[in-house]
Amino acid sequence: MENIKLITQDEIKKVLDMKTAMEAVDMVYAEQGSGRVLMPAKITLDTGETNDWPPYGGSYNAMPAYVGGDVDISGIKWVWGFNDNRAKGLPYIGGIIILNEPRTGEVLAVMDGSYITDVRTGASAGVAVKYLAKKDSSVAAVIGAGAQGRMVARALKEVCSLTELRIADLYPESAEKYAREMGEELGLAVRPFQSNEEACLGADVIVTCTTAHAVLVRREWVKKGCTVISLGSFPELDERIPEECDMLVVDSWAQNSHRGELKILVHEGKITDGDVDAELPEIAAGKKPGRQSDDQIICACIIGMGSTDIGTAGALYRKAFAGDDSVLTCSLRKSRGK
């Protein structure tokens, strides 16, 4: 146990940028779509986020996974989110990741999981846009100006030729700060909106990333050819969007069937697995197609999978902290069939 590496958030930030995260997430999706990932659905410990007791307003998720290929790593993420953290000056989400040697179970590293959670969430949206959005997508709307909303902006910059990024948030001052800071960082025109409707109308890509249990995007605001992405475990879309879209994509049906955007629709029998056109890993692995026409309205429900956390953390560990610089590059080359 004396050889366990303790890896801090500052150390991770120095070596994990959005481009690297998107490559890692894309690789994990391809491995998963090819049957080289083991991942039980996440387990939730609810301490008052949706239950009455205990009254702490939060929940924890345990997210184990094994990712094969060249990364070849096992691990688990223990992640939490608390509703009142904003008022306490704390981030809503926090977490740690434990990586294990898959042949012996020995612990290789204990890593900060908060930053990896945020960056891989944004990266997941970026990879979804890569496969599902129109090639000429130039206007994007992000609903939610928090840490993950910023990561989404960085990911969209990697895959889209954006001329305008729109931001809307429950707190107008947060949207204005986001627009000012992200505009400067990305060199983009970033416009704050007080109305979700105004932000969404005419957008090629719409991404929600909040902790709201509310309809943030209505069907009539979504134009033909738009890609609508709901990130995380909260229902944020008009139910007509997943019900009426031309293509419905999830990251994992096992998770989407009992939590997140589709939970209520599944419970009410309005959506079944037969309504899902593809899981994103199937598209990344080339087993199913992504967008097939510019007129399609595509809805992607991405809850977040432990495999992307463990795969991203594992590739980063092997490349930056264990001295194996070839792991991420080789894994990407293999997953893309080169």
> Is CATH 3.20.20.150 correct for 5-117+306-335?
no
Closest among 26, 7, 5 to 308, alpha carbons compared: 26
Q: Does residue 15 carry a pLDDT above 80?
A: yes
Is residue 63 within 8 A of residue 308, CB to CB? The reply is no
For residue range 32-78, what is the model confidence (pLDDT) as tens digits? 999 999 999 889 999 998 888 999 999 999 999 999 999 999 999 99
Total-model pTM: 0.92
Work out the pLDDT band at 338, boundaries 50, 70, 90. Answer: very low
Cα–chain center distance at 9: 19
> Is CATH 3.40.50.1820 correct for 133-302?
no
| Whole-number pLDDT of residue 2 | 66
Q: Where in the chain is the domain with CATH 3.40.50.720?
A: 133-302
| Whole-number pLDDT of residue 230 | 98
Residue 197 is encoded by which pair of tokens?
């409707």
Q: Does residue 334 carry a pLDDT above 60?
A: no
Angle at 83 between CA 77 and CA 89, to 5 degrees: 90
Residue 259 is encoded by which pair of tokens?
């939590």
* Residue 86: other Cβ atoms inside 10 A: 14
Query: In whole angstroms, what is the distance from residue 336 CA to residue 170 CA?
Result: 40
Work out the pLDDT band at 331, boundaries 50, 70, 90. Answer: very low
Q: Where in the chain is the domain with CATH 3.30.1780.10?
A: 5-117+306-335
- Tell me what percent of the chain is helix, strand and coil, each rounded to the nearest 5: 40, 25, 35
Average pLDDT, the chain: 94
Q: Which are the catalytic amino acids?
A: 77
Tell me, what DSSP letter sits at residue 3? T
User: Can you tell me the mean pLDDT for 233-254?
Assistant: 96
| Whole-number pLDDT of residue 326 | 46
For residue range 140-173, what is the model confidence (pLDDT) as tens digits? 999 999 999 999 999 999 999 999 999 999 999 9
- Least confident stretch, 24-38, 81-95, 216-230: 81-95
